[in-house]
Structure 1
Amino acid sequence: MAIKVGIVDTTFARVDMASAAIKKLNELTSKIEIIRYTVPGMKDLPVACKKLMDERGCEITMALGMPGGKDKDKVCAHEASQGLMVAQLLTNKHIIEVFVHEDEAKDGKELDWLAKKRAEEHAENVYYILFKPEFLQKNAGKGLRQGFEDAGAAKK
């Protein structure tokens, strides 16, 4: 029986991060069933993730969002993030937050690349949580990042 994985994205984002995440998950395993749910904006992500877990039986969800570069966008991202944490505690299930802030990239081309890469790399994390948690444990403390280059472990 397939494990249900929820993918929640927004129409506010400027890149289709969900398709990148779904493609990566399908490359990694055939043991999942993906349920996609698209909402208008970031503050809709928490309830959408919770609904997928409560009503559709998802074991884990990814929340994909792209806050704009203005201060009010950063506040909305913070509120959405807090809502995602509450939803995780209420369901006792992981929600992998995948936010890409527009001002992280120097232009639209880099933004497109970064959003897709971060979505793909977090999709890998979903796979590891579900099927190979020892991989994550083995990599603890190595400064791994999703999107741009890894930071690396701190030097002693």
Structure 2
Amino acid sequence: MRRKYGVADTTFSRIDMGAIAIKTITKEDPDAEIVRYTVPGIKDLPVAAKRLLDSGCDGVITLGWVGKSMLDKYSYLAASIGLITTQIITSKHVIDVTIHEDEAEDEEQLKNIAIDRVTKHSINLVKLIRDGKNSLTPFAGKGLRQGYGNAGPIED
């Protein structure tokens, strides 16, 4: 069965996160159909995700970039609530991948965080869509992290 993935990204992002997601999804699920929808900013991602899901996508990854100001952070909060609402309304996964400008001291580190986070969450989306709801269960409690090194589990 051919699976259909949605990739929603923004023009505000400082790297092409959509291309990274598409490359990763294609590698993980070579038979996948991928539909990309690019919008101006993070507050536009909920409707992009909803439209992709309404068009038959089995799941969506949204890729946003948040500036450093408090206004940017409030915009992200609004977008996040919209993405959660979209998941509830559609009963489908919307994996929210967000990069915050204040996560790193320099642009190279920020770029590396973005690449790592997009790649790992794209794989998570494929596992959920292709392999089913229990596909991530073996990784529960492992302290896995996207964007940084894994935290690891707390041993008994």
Per the normalisation by structure 2, the TM-score is 0.95
Counterpart residue type for residue 31 of structure 1? D
Counterpart residue type for residue 86 of structure 1? T
Distance 1:73 1:154 in 2: 34
2:108 equivalent to 1:109: yes
Counterpart residue type for residue 123 of structure 1? S
Unmatched 5+ stretches in structure 1:
none
Counterpart residue type for residue 73 of structure 2? K
Distance 2:78 2:117 in 1: 21
1:97 corresponds to which residue?
A: 96
> How many residue pairs get matched?
155
Question: For the Cα contact (< 8 Å) 2:3–2:33, is it kept in 1?
Answer: yes
Distance 1:5 1:142 in 2: 26
Q: Which stretches of structure 1, 4 residues or longer, exceed 4 Å deviation after superposition?
A: none
Per the normalisation by structure 1, the TM-score is 0.95
Q: C-alpha deviations, 1:30-52, integer Å up to 9, x for none?
A: 12100000000100000100001
2:82 corresponds to which residue?
A: 83
2:138 equivalent to 1:141: no
CA offset at residue 155 of structure 1? 3.4
Q: C-alpha deviations, 1:5-37, integer Å up to 9, x for none?
A: 000000111111111111111111212100000
- Identical pairs, percent: 45
Distance 2:116 2:21 in 1: 9
Distance 1:109 1:76 in 2: 25
Which stretch of structure 1 is more off in the superposition, 91-100 or 122-131? 122-131
After TM superposition, the structure 1 = structure 2 runs for residues 34-113 of structure 1, keeping only pairs within 5 Å, are 34-54=34-54, 56-113=55-112
Counterpart residue type for residue 13 of structure 1? S
Unmatched 5+ stretches in structure 2:
none
How well do the aligned residues superpose, as a CA RMSD in angstroms?
1.1
CA offset at residue 72 of structure 1? 0.7
Distance 2:56 2:131 in 1: 21
Distance 2:126 2:41 in 1: 26
